[in-house]
Amino acid sequence: MEETANLKLPFILPSQAQKHVTHNESLQLLDAIVQLGVLDRDLTAPPAEPAEGDRYIIASPATGAWEGREGEIAAFQDGAWNFLSPRPGWRAWIVDEQALLVWDGSSWIDILKQIQHVELLGIGTEADAQNVFAAKLNKALWAARIEAEGGDGNLRYTLNKEGPQKVLSLLMQSGWSGRAEVGLAGSDDLSIRVSPDGSQWHEALHVDRQSGIVSTQALPRFKAYTNYDNYVGVGVWTKIGINNADYNEQGCFDAGTNRFIAPVDGTYLFGASLLYKINYSADARMSARLVLNGATEVKGSRGEISGPHESLLTALCLSTLVTLEKDDAVELQGCFRGADGYFAADGTTFWGLKVG
């Protein structure tokens, strides 16, 4: 053998005269190939005034001193062009493009462009068959390419699923257990749902794709009524036995105690409709109010009818907002002046919902 197998560097042979010539030739080749960085890969003819050590990948169709050397590396050494035929696996950094190329045996391939076809990509961690893209990091930034950079200043993140029954969502976990999910989960309507343990899920918000109507399925709300006539004496504030619920989301109304129990802190809207039923005198004057935790009248919740009453036709309606803390209780109370009476069955209702 007179040269190395890969880089084709000439060997110094036994009894060879002027061994320094062969040695220097090898150094020249190493200087041209090792840490290969070429200035350009688009030139088809040599530059007019190359500097010592300048290297280029020759473009097609080559002319002049480069004719017939397409794809080869031209290195300007000792005032002349030296040509190197790349071998598979050689890498070259293109200075003017800031690009990394590799020779595959027939052409120069842009490695960075090949990333678009990569099957697995892990950043700071390993990707696998289930997570073909995986990243382990503390911050990530997506920024729109502005017009000065050739973009349009907009940024739109597009996700697509196969069909309506499939799932397209953003799943948020804690300790690798799901806690919240936003997206198109099993339909083409937008939903937000949460979980305490990663297995039991509650839909908090649903947006109908056809109408844009927002539904809050898990919103604390109730409407309840009494199914018997509640007798109330004169001058005595008495809790009304609201003991049946038409609906009771989040189980926030306790029919056993006739109270609403706040499941979370927030602002709540309450209302009531109270129907009068005579006992013996139409002189009775009906009053009603909301009471917090069995002791404090909710400000702005009291109402009274002071005019003449007509049994089963006279009604009092009231509503108000109140800020509650979790586990606060609100009840409906009634009172009569002038004469006793009843709050009528089925016509006396109490309702409420969380609004903020």
Q: How high is the pLDDT of residue 10?
A: 57
Do 193 and 106 fall into the same domain? no
Q: Based on C-alpha coordinates, what's the Rg of the chain?
A: 42
Last residue of a domain, one of 95, 112, 129: 112
pLDDT band at 145 (very low <50, low <70, confident <90, very high): very high
156 falls within a domain = no
Q: Distance between CA 266 and CA 218 in Å, rounded?
A: 14
69 falls within a domain = yes
Do 195 and 238 fall into the same domain? no
- Domain holding 59, by residue range, is 35-112
Average pLDDT, the chain: 88
Does residue 121 have a pLDDT over 90? Answer: no
Do 233 and 341 fall into the same domain? yes
124 falls within a domain = no
Do 244 and 209 fall into the same domain? no
Q: Distance between CA 28 and CA 24 in Å, rounded?
A: 6
Do 211 and 239 fall into the same domain? no
3-state SS assignment for residue 170: strand
312 falls within a domain = yes
**Other C-beta atoms lying within 10 Å of the C-beta of residue 84:** 18
Do 326 and 228 fall into the same domain? yes
Do 231 and 340 fall into the same domain? yes
136 falls within a domain = no
Percent helix, strand and coil across the chain, each to the nearest 5: 10, 40, 55
146 falls within a domain = no
Does residue 24 have a pLDDT over 60? Answer: no
Count of structural domains within the chain:
3
Do 342 and 250 fall into the same domain? yes
Q: How high is the pLDDT of residue 64?
A: 93
Strand bridging mode 341-343 / 244-249: unpaired
Q: Which residues pair with 38 in a beta bridge?
A: 94
pLDDT band at 50 (very low <50, low <70, confident <90, very high): very high
**Domain harbouring 300, CATH code:** 2.60.120.40
Bond before 47 cis per omega within 30 degrees? no
Do 197 and 176 fall into the same domain? yes
Q: In 99-124, which positions are buried (b, 16+ CB within 10 angstroms) versus exposed (e)?
A: eebbbeeeebeeeeeeeeeeeeeeee
Last residue of a domain, one of 90, 112, 134: 112
The secondary structure of residue 14, as a DSSP letter, is T
pLDDT band at 31 (very low <50, low <70, confident <90, very high): very low
Q: Is the pTM of this model over 0.75?
A: no
Do 84 and 190 fall into the same domain? no
Do 183 and 283 fall into the same domain? no
For the segment 108-117, the average pLDDT, to the nearest whole number, is: 80
Do 225 and 350 fall into the same domain? yes
User: 233-243: per-residue pLDDT in tens?
Assistant: 999 999 999 99
Residue listed under structure tokens 């404090």: 296
**Other C-beta atoms lying within 10 Å of the C-beta of residue 56:** 23
307 falls within a domain = yes
Q: How high is the pLDDT of residue 18?
A: 56
Q: How high is the pLDDT of residue 23?
A: 47
What length does the chain have? 356
User: 182-234: per-residue pLDDT in tens?
Assistant: 999 999 999 999 999 999 998 888 999 999 998 887 889 999 999 999 999 99
332 falls within a domain = yes
Last residue of a domain, one of 73, 96, 112: 112
